[in-house]
Amino acid sequence: MAVVTDAIYDPESEAHPDWDASQDELAARAVKYGNERTREVYKRLRGVGVWAEDIEGVADLAAIPVLEKDDVPALQAARPPFGGMLSLRAGTLKRIFRSPGPINDPQGQDEDFWRVAPAAWAAGFRDGDVVLNSFSYHLTPGGLMLDAGLRKLGCTVIPGGVGNSAAQVEAACAAGATGYTGTPQFLLTLFERARDMGHELPIRRALVTGAPLPPPLRARLQDEVGVDVYQSYGTADAGTLGYECGEKNGWHVAPGIVIELLAPGDDRPAGEGETGQVVVTSPNGIYPLVRFGTGDLSAWNPEPCRCGRTSRRLVGFMGRVGEGVKVRGMFVHPRELAGALDGDPMVARYQAVVTEGAGGGDMFTVRVEAAPGCGLGDEEVAALVARIREAVKVRPVVEVVGVGEIGEEAGVVVDGRG
Ligand SMILES: [Zn+2]
């Protein structure tokens, strides 16, 4: 039995004794809402002859085609402003945002419409904290997403917005802000700016999102700057999708939504350790989403978490769907390759090239430039082959190349077929 501690905001959902069953219930409810309340889901179900009452759980969702995020702008343009995805009149919303795409995003009347509070709670934010929020408050919802979640917890927010680092440092120092929400890079920028200004920035805790947090940046923020950093993950359409707990080893699926990981290309559930598109199903009362393809890639972390939450974890962000190149039926993504080769002191540069082999099959070659002073012999090459195969699920030929043979501009995964 999981131990529920006060580090968990919503034990009923986050530490549900049968988490898979709770996902089934959410999936069925989302399809029911969508079918009853929105033209888009109704039409998509009718298109494949599926009845809402036939959807009893996550596995049944497979009968419904995925709505790709890339298809939403055309849907909205044909039927403005929300493409038949909103269950009520646009004029009854709290706000309407415009995200890159372009995509119109609704904000309903709920206090924490994007469900940010559990993520901020997991990051240690509590009633009475003063938090500098450095996401944009204009047109895109990032600023107000975080703002709403922090306010729900009783935090006081400084609406810093984007840029103006000197003014943000002044504001945070003057108010004694101990918390930060924003991108991880901008947090580092603020500390550097504060140092230049001769100020002591009091921020000690951060919830970062909207940009990658590479391990060296995290180490710098935590070990050198002294900020306890947590990541969350979400989109303007679907709100919070995942967040880190104290273990900081993957993103727990956020309460109130269903996440599937589907193999790009054929939309079957991604297997153990396999990369898949993050596909969201959300029983939101006004903007229900049924199999909404975010275009983001991740994989499941199969280990149960020690924090007490029973919700599954995603390993983190592994790139965007379009970045992958299909090799022998498997998509190979730059980030998977990076996972196998980045940080290897013997490897200076690398590039995967897919070509047509003599027999018509795919040739998957990873060209590797050795780091200065390192010789890559047969033994080292065999180890690289094994590691790359483990990471991308395709066996490569590793070719050691000379200095400068991999161009500065070259892509990490290059499709040289046809
Ligand atoms: Zn956990």
Task: Calculate how far, in angstroms, residue 307's C-alpha sits from the geometric centre of ligand 1.
Answer: 4
Task: Give the Å distance between the CA of 186 and the centre of ligand 1.
Answer: 26
Residue 95 has pLDDT above 50, yes or no: yes
Cα(29)–Cα(50) distance, rounded to whole angstroms?
15
- Give the residue, 358 or 256, on which the prediction is more confident: 256
Residue 116 CA to residue 107 CA, distance in Å, equals 13
Give the Å distance between the CA of 310 and the centre of ligand 1. Answer: 8
Q: How far is CA 94 from CA 105, 147, 351, in A?
A: 11, 14, 48
The pLDDT confidence band at residue 105, using thresholds 50, 70 and 90, is very high
What is the CA(206)–ligand 1 centre distance, in A? Answer: 17
Q: Is the pLDDT of residue 334 over 90?
A: no
Model confidence band, residue 343 (pLDDT cutoffs 50, 70, 90): confident
> Each residue of 352-366: pLDDT tens digit?
999 988 888 899 999
CA distances from 84 to 114, 284, 298 (A): 20, 15, 29
Q: Quickly state the pLDDT bin for 273 (edges 50, 70, 90).
A: confident
The whole-model pTM stands at 0.85
Question: 232 CA distance to ligand 1 centroid (A)?
Answer: 13
Ligand 1 centroid distance, CA of 166 (Å):
36
| Spacing, Cα 27 to ligand 1 middle (Å) | 23
3, pLDDT greater than 70: no
Question: Whats the size of the chain, residue-wise?
Answer: 418
400 pairs with which residues across the strands? 368
Over residues 1-5, mean pLDDT: 55
Q: Which domains does the chain carry?
A: 1-323 (3.40.50.12780), 326-415 (3.30.300.30)
pLDDT tens-digit map of 142-176 = 999 999 999 999 999 999 999 999 999 999 999 99
At 417 the pLDDT is 87
Mean pLDDT of the 378-396 span: 92
Q: What is the mean pLDDT of the chain?
A: 94
Which residues crowd ion ligand 1, with CB under 5 Å? 245, 247, 305, 307, 309
Please answer whether residues 312 and 269 qualify as being in contact, where contact means their C-beta atoms are separated by less than 8 angstroms: no
Q: Determine the distance separating the centroid of ligand 1 and the alpha carbon of 250, expressed in angstroms.
A: 8
